[in-house]
């Protein structure tokens, strides 16, 4: 049995409730837990991301977002929705869009799942998950 989690430590606080909830749900017994820093996303993840952008672009245009004219425009929309973080000084909050290339493997995997779900629910398109063989026909 093995399960991957994304846990982000920011300003001394862990941002993963699912990890502690999962640990509580395990039956009594001995477990080996390995913690390691996540590496940057893989080339396969990068290839997947850029391969799905044309379908996302077309679906956004079909939904009336006519200013989305290129794959780069579609990428900016996806980044704004799924690759954002907030910076705060304790009083004010500034939203910041992160670059996708520095995203960790695990974090990108979670974002990919969100993008697939968003595509299905909002854009009414099916996006194959990373690692699955798929082809685009024009």
For 31-66, the pLDDT digits (tens) are: 887 776 666 777 888 889 999 999 999 999 999 999
Q: What is the mean pLDDT of residues 77-94?
A: 90
Q: What is the rounded distance in angstroms from the CA atom of residue 63 to the CA atom of residue 103? A: 28
* The pLDDT of residue 52: 94
Rounded (10°) CA dihedral 37, 38, 39, 45: 180
pLDDT of residue 28: 87
Confidence of residue 71 (pLDDT cuts 50, 70, 90): very high
- When the pLDDT of each residue in the chain is averaged and rounded to a whole number, the result is 82
Block residue for tokens 């579609």: 74
Mean pLDDT of 7-36: 75
pLDDT confidence of residue 137: 44
Between 47 and 11, the more confident residue is 47
Angle among Cα 79, 134, 57 to the nearest 5 degrees reads 35
**What's the rounded Cα separation, in Å, for the pair 70 and 78?**
13
What per-residue confidence (pLDDT) applies to 91?
A: 92
Quickly count: other Cβ atoms within 10 Å of residue 133's Cβ.
5
């Amino acid at each position: 049995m093995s399960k991957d989690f994304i846990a982000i430590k920011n300003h001394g606080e862990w941002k993963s409730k699912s990890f502690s909830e999962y640990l509580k749900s395990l039956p009594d017994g001995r477990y080996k837990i390995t913690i390691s820093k996540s590496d940057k996303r893989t080339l396969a993840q990068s290839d997947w991301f850029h391969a799905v952008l044309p379908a996302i672009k077309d679906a956004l245009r079909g939904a009336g977002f006519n200013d989305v004219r290129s794959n780069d425009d579609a990428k900016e929309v996806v980044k704004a929705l799924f690759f954002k973080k907030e910076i705060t000084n304790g009083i004010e909050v500034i939203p910041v869009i992160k670059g996708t290339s520095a995203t960790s493997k695990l974090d990108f995997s979670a974002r990919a799942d969100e993008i697939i779900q968003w595509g299905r629910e909002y854009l009414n398109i099916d996006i194959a998950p990373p690692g699955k063989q798929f082809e685009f026909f024009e």
